[in-house]
A and B are shown apart, each in its own frame.
Chain A
């Protein structure tokens, strides 16, 4: 009986105080509570930033890239004429990356690349263009966010085809060397003759650069290819064998 009463009393004490405490709260308790809520808020904002970076920027960039790609294709369809490179010089097809076609435009500044496209270098080493007699066609694109066009760059192996499509020609490159990690200051990788990849002679090379490891920008991932052959675009834009 005595134990029973004690138990009842304890139940009472644990049930009644909270409302009382809520009514008259100590200032320190209020401060701690506000601080805690701010921390929770900061955590939620950071989580939202991740959603923004990895999902929303892709949505925006893919939309923009589709729009710009359509512009280029409709201009191409308007019949022959001078190669207009202002809206983009062509499309990169890398079957191993499974990312469809990537529009390529001039420049590697964030404004350009954030539209879900790949850019060819103008600085610090000027890129050659695929139709040049020799040189290195150097490209950069995002690994994550903003279209993430080079997300699967690590799937590329030696011998994989990298095809660049212009208005009138398919340029078929073959990957011959990959460099999974290098410093972002290593501009040697985009030299006209990229000796770091093991070649010594001038030739027609392609270099893909993006950041690595995924979700960070600590290092750069490099893939080199060499032109194997070119193919004229026919009336139906029949895709070359490498893309079938």
Chain B
């Protein structure tokens, strides 16, 4: 997969390396900016209250 991408990048090894780095940074940016903020509330790591309601929809006793 990565080998395939590498072979299809244009230019010599230096140009390919720079393009590959830009691609990696673009992916990391997309993850931090869009994917992780979307995924985070779906995961049970950030609930700090005792109402219990924010933890995956489980209702509290009251």
Known contacts A37-B2, A124-B62; A186 and B50 CB within 8 A of each other? yes
Interface string of A5-17 (1 = CB under 8 A from B): 0000000000000
- Are B1 and A33 in contact (CB-based, < 8 A)? yes
Task: Collect the chain B residues with CB atoms within 8 Å of residue A140's CB.
Answer: 48-50
A185: nearest chain-B partner, CB-CB: B52
Partner of A124, one of B1, B47, B51: B51
B2: nearest chain-A partner, CB-CB: A37
Stretch touching chain B among A47-55, A95-103, A227-235: A47-55
Considering the chains assembled together, what is the distance between the CA atoms of A38 and B2 in angstroms? Answer: 10
A209 at the interface (CB under 8 A from B): yes
Considering the chains assembled together, what is the distance between the CA atoms of A123 and B48 in angstroms? Answer: 13
| Number of A interface residues in the complex (CB < 8 A) | 43
Task: Collect the chain B residues with CB atoms within 8 Å of residue A187's CB.
Answer: 50-52, 60-62
Task: Collect the chain B residues with CB atoms within 8 Å of residue A109's CB.
Answer: 54
The B-contacting residues of A in range 142-165, CB under 8 angstroms, are 142-146, 150
- Are B2 and A189 in contact (CB-based, < 8 A)? no
- Are A113 and B48 in contact (CB-based, < 8 A)? yes
A211 at the interface (CB under 8 A from B): yes
Task: Collect the chain A residues with CB atoms within 8 Å of residue B44's CB.
Answer: 217
B residues whose Cβ falls under 8 Å from a Cβ of A: 1-2, 28, 31-32, 36, 39-41, 44-55, 58, 60-62
Q: Give 15 CB contacts A-B under 8 Å.
A: A48-B32, A53-B36, A123-B51, A124-B60, A141-B48, A146-B46, A184-B51, A184-B52, A185-B52, A186-B50, A187-B51, A211-B46, A211-B47, A217-B55, A222-B50
